[in-house]
Structures are given as structure tokens and as C-alpha cells.
Amino acid sequence: MRKQIFLQDLINRMSMEEKLGQLNLLTGAMDSTGMKNSGDLVPKIRNGTCGAVFNVFTPSATRTLQDVALESPMGIPLIFGYDVIHGHRTIYPIPLGLSCSWNLDLVRRCAQMAGAEAAADGLHWVYSPMVDISQDARWGRVAEGSGEDPWLGSKIAAAMVTGYQGASLAEDGSVVACVKHFALYGAPMGGRDYNTVDMSRGEMEETYFPPYRAAIEAGARTVMTSFNEIDGIPASANRWLLTEKLRTDWGFNGCVVTDYTAVTEMKSHGTSANDADAAKQSLDAGVDMDMVSEVFITELPQLLATGDVCETQINTAVMRVLELKWDLGLFENPYSHCNEEHARTRHLCKENRELSRLAALESVVLLKNESQLLPLTKQGSIAVIGPLADSRRDMLGCWVAAGDEMQACSAFEGICEAVGDRAVIHFAKGCDIQKENDSWLADAKIAASCADVVLLVLGESWQMNGEAASRTNIKLPKCQRKLAAEMLKTGKPCVLITMSGRPLDLSWEDKKFSSILHAWALGTEGGRALADIIFGTAAPIGKLTMGFPRHVGQLPMTYREKSTGRPYDASIQYSSKYLDAPNDALYPFGHGLTYGKFRYGKTVVSSSMMKLDETLTISSEITNLTQHPATETLQLYLRDLVASVSRPVKELRGYERVNLAPGETRLVSFIITSKDLSFIGRDLKPVIELGEFDAMIGPNSKELQAARFTLCC
């Protein structure tokens, strides 16, 4: 009540220019995340025509601009935002990597740490979580999301929001989350960033919307629009999306901000003739804040004068922005979040580094370990080879916010630290990330020939994924494959460690290497975590959240595919298949090995009949066949055999991580309700239909054992 009275009174006293100022989000120059810059912010802040700023951080930089805002006629404090995507100062694994932990509490704690570090730097608002589902590894931004699965993606989205926002925004260390990119940004045609999206409403509801919605249900206070169009209408002008779906259907009552210059980009989309047209369409659609385009401020006054937009629309948007500021406690203490002391004690502190190391440990995925080359013992001589082996910057990955590579630990550094003087380490780069180098290659051959074992660290540089980094070729660069071939020729045992921001086509490597460890970009403590795994101080436990294809030509692909009318059968000519590759992934969704072996028992259902209002228990026995403790994540998938709308051949509906003692057998059970069997029906609403289902349990989405049951009334 006090809030409403205060804010309404404020709005009543504001000039139209000041109101539009609150809707104007500008970029500072401490980082550059788009093509247009906003110039000198000070005069705009001073006259009240800028309501929020991003790409400015540190207590002193934000304080300086906040001082200016407080001197503006209304003295309304600024909100400071930033792309804190996987850590602010202490960087943890890229989101796609972290999602492979399947550890929601870890994800929440990482987001909380990032938020607290960002807050100490004067920030209030993080442009995260990025919850765009993607089935296309060509798209560089898969690095920023949580993979291909909407069910798991939704859980991760909610965990991140809770981590960022805490119990209350006014609490020290809480920041406002921004769910992005609304919507469908992860499905551009051809995997090309910013490209057109064309999708059925059913697929939107079933696969792409759930994580946005989960984030909103978890309380996310802001939503960022996407660059792409939906049904031929750019997201930032799509009223169906931003108002009917988001606000009316899902009950969102926070702020909608556009992506970087997305409003003026409508001219390039060919859906707005000019800036005024674009500004009107955005405001009408339900946008509250214009990021960097500055056309709300320049165009809306004239549109108001002609009656093309009305003051109520503007007041509504202004109220949403001001409410956010109020809830952040900014009217009471405009400097509440910026705190030199906190910055000193929080940034890169011991606990944060430890959490980052744990997150890195849990993100690594052991793709293959056929002859059990891993873990290595710390003895003899080890050659650490490859262009990524000693790169701190690439260990941090794309979108590192204020992360500092000088604070990071490369794979080579982590290995040296772990080994100490117990083994001799030889290092050679072998080649550049994308370029051959004969003399480096010669050095690598010498290093390998002196060693007992070769650790080859290959993959993508940090610039090869992330925004505007789509690729048509997702193999390792040629020069790196040449290096790999040369290393294999030495006849020394070779372990391949891959780093990337996307699933790669590792079909050649899979044939050549018996051990492959996938390390994404692991963040500040990446090298140490990797060494822990290489030497068996910790075992890998990550499970892929996006399948690795056999060939780029399979993309987009998902384990949640439909059966089609002519299901895959290699021996049938007219079945849905390729002539030159199998349909499935090389390393499927959910895949990930550890230093251990398990035996799965049969999948058992508690009853072959399940009534609508009953639960059903689905179980499997699992045995640790090794002589040491081992951890496994069991996964439950369901399939609806006959429905009014075709259903995926399997869908993840549960998982459980278990730690098993040597030789231990444990019964692991999942309890489902009929809600777990619901899907988006013909009328685009959730529906539950009676009939037969398969319940499948296994170590990944491919190696599953099924049990059938019937849902009845």
C-alpha cells in the first residue's frame, strides 16, 4: 500500500520525458555487448532520460552514475544490469556444462554466488537465466543454455532464478533475474544466430515454452525478448507472446525488456517502416523497457501527441520499472548494493572458488574410457599437449562478465599443481586453435615421445561459441585433428580432453581414442577440477544435457524425437533414415560415464494398471560392480504409446543420483502421478489421456529397460 501511494505520487509528479526516461535502458562502456553504444550517459542520466544502465559495474563506477541520477529533477535511482551468465568475478562452468551436473542445488548456489558478487559490484540485475531450449549444436548460444530437454531445462531455470533473487530482492546479495530470450531464440533456421524461427504452436507449448514459464513461476521479475520473429512478428512486437501468453496466461506481472536494439531492428525485419512504427509496435505488444534503441524516448512523445499511443500504456510500463526499483530497496538506499567492503571480501573468495571447483567437477562428462586409461597415476612422465592445454582464457569460456583470466587455472597449471614433483610434465602447444604450426608440432612430437602417457587438450576457443558464433562445421579444427593424428602415431597411450561450448562432432575421435573426457569451459577453477578427475581424486559424474551428433547433417536433433509413420529401420529402404549415418547421437542425451561400472536390473512397475488419481512406483535395482564407491545418475523416461497427438519416443520425467559403496546393490524408485503423463493436446492445453505407457530406466536416454503399464480411470 505504502509502495503504491509512493509510486503513484511519483508518477503524478513526473513529466512525460521523465516517464519515458524510466523506460530507456542504456549501455555503458565498461563492456561491449552489441553494435550501438549509448554515448555519454551522464547528461541523459542528469536530465532524467535514462532509467537504467548496463555494462557498468564496480562500486565506484556505479556510485558515480547513481550520484548523477540522484541529482536529476526527480532523483529516481538507476538500476544497474549486466550479463552475469556463469559467474561475475568467480566464473563457474558455462551453463551448458553446469547443466550436465543435473544438480539443482549446485546450480542454485552458483547463481546465488554470482548474484552476490555482482551485487557487491553495484549491480542489481543480471541478464540470466538464458533458458532457450536448443536442439541444434550449430547455434553458438547453446553454450549459454541448459541443453535440449524442456523438463530438465525448466528445473534448472527455476533453480537459477531462486539463486539470484533469494527470498527478497531487498536482501543483501539478491539480484533481479532476467529470463531470456523470450521466445524460441534457440530454434533459428539452420542454427544461424538471429535467424528466422518458424514453429508450430504445439511445439512451442510442449518443448520451448516450459523453461520460460518455470522461471516465471519461480518468481523471475524480468523477461528479455528475443531477436527472432514468431509467426512472422518480431518477438519485441508480438502482442500474443508478450501480453496474451506471458501476462494473461502465465500471470507475469514484472518488467519486459527488449534485447539489444531489438526495437529498431524491426526495420530490418521489414515489419516496421521507421523508428516510430517500431516504438509503437513494441509498446503496444507489452514491452516496458527499450534496450539501447532509444526510440521510446525519441518517438513516443509524437505518438502520444497524435493519439497513436496513450498515456496509460506509458504509466503502466513506468509503474513496473519503478516497482522493481522499490522492491530492490533503491528508494530507501540507492547505494544499497554497491559495497567496496563486500567486493573485497566476496569477489573470488575461498568459498566461491571452492564452489566453482565443485561445479567444474560435476560438469565434466566422461564420454568414453574403454581401456580404462583414466584415471592416471601421478608418476613417470606425462605430456600435456594442445592449443587449449594452457589457456586460462579459454577455460573461462564465452560471456565471462567481469571474470579475469589472470585468476583462472588452465588444465596444464591444474595438472602441474596436482602432480607436484611426483611426475615429470612436458608441455607443448602443438598448433594454434585454428592454425597449424610446424615447429610447435615438432615440439609436441618430442614431448609425446618422452612421455609415458599423452593428455591432449583440444577444442574450441571461447570465441568459437556464444553469441554470433554459429558454425556449419562442428568438428575439431583441421589443425587440431592433424595434431591428434600425430600424437596417436607415437603409439603412446593418449587421452583426449575436449573443451567446447557446444556438442561437437567427435565421430573421428571416437574411433581413434579409447578415452575422451569432455570439459566444456569450466571457469576459474577449471584446471584444478580437471586435474582432480584426471588423477582420480574425484570421479567424473556429469551427464550430457545435449546429445553429441555423429554428423552435423543430423542437426537439429533430439532424443525426444517422434516415431514418424516410417520409424527408423536400417534394413528398410523407405524408413526415416539417412543413407550415410545412423539416426541416433554418437553420445546421447543423458550419457556420461564414471570410474566405475554398474549393472542395472529390470525396470519394474508397482502395478500394470494405474488409476488417474493414483501414483505408480517405477523401480530398478542398480549394483556397483567396482571395488570403490561410485556415483550414478539413474534416469526415468516415459512414452505414451497412443495419443490424440503424436508423442516423443521417450521423455525424461525423473532422475536420481546415487552414491554406491563397492559391490552395493540398491533399489531406486520413482513415483509418478498422472500429471507426469500429461501433454499438450490438440487444443494446445494440457491433457491426460488413458492408455498404455512405457516406463524406462537406464544410465542415459539410449540404454533403457522398459516396463509397460496402463493408465485407466
Nearer to ligand BGC, 28 or 210 (CB): 28
Taking the C-alpha atoms of residue 463 and residue 624, their distance in angstroms, rounded to an integer, is 41
* 3 state DSSP class of 208: helix
The nearest distance, CB 33 to ligand BGC, in angstroms, is 3
The nearest distance, CB 427 to ligand BGC, in angstroms, is 36
Nearer to ligand BGC, 259 or 299 (CB): 259
Residues 6+ apart with CB under 8 A from 89: 117, 121, 347, 348, 352, 401, 402, 403, 404, 407
Task: Go through 155-173 and write b for each residue having 16 or more CB atoms within 10 A of its CB, e for each that does not.
Answer: bbbbbbbbbbbbeebeeeb
List phi, psi (to 5°) of 206: -80, -45
Please say if 505 is a catalytic residue.
no
Closest CA to 158 of 210, 232, 106, 215: 215
Kind and range of the H or E element at 179?
strand 176-182
The nearest distance, CB 144 to ligand BGC, in angstroms, is 7
The nearest distance, CB 222 to ligand BGC, in angstroms, is 11
Strand duo 515-518 + 365-369: pairing: antiparallel
The nearest distance, CB 91 to ligand BGC, in angstroms, is 17
Cell of 160: 537459477
Kind and range of the H or E element at 69?
helix 59-71
**Does residue 22 contact residue 51 with C-beta atoms inside 8 Å?**
yes
Closest CA to 539 of 699, 418, 379, 375: 375
* 3 state DSSP class of 338: strand
Cell of 154: 525448466
Taking the C-alpha atoms of residue 551 and residue 573, their distance in angstroms, rounded to an integer, is 21
Question: Which residue intervals of 369-477 are DSSP H helices?
Answer: 392-396, 411-419, 438-450
Nearer to ligand BGC, 7 or 119 (CB): 119
Binding site for ligand BGC (CB under 6 A): 33-34, 83, 127, 180, 259-260, 467
Point out the catalytic residue in the list 83, 259, 394, 676.
259
Cell of 298: 525519441
The nearest distance, CB 159 to ligand BGC, in angstroms, is 19
Residues 6+ apart with CB under 8 A from 514: 368, 369, 370, 371, 373
Residue 644, classified by CB atoms within 10 Å of its CB into exposed (0-12), middle (13-18) or buried (19+), is: exposed
Nearer to ligand BGC, 180 or 518 (CB): 180
The nearest distance, CB 83 to ligand BGC, in angstroms, is 5
- Give the Å distances, CA to CA, from 501 to 397, 459, 464, 465: 7, 9, 8, 6
Nearer to ligand BGC, 290 or 467 (CB): 467
User: Residue length, the chain?
Assistant: 713
Cell of 291: 534496450
The nearest distance, CB 391 to ligand BGC, in angstroms, is 24
List the catalytic residues: 259
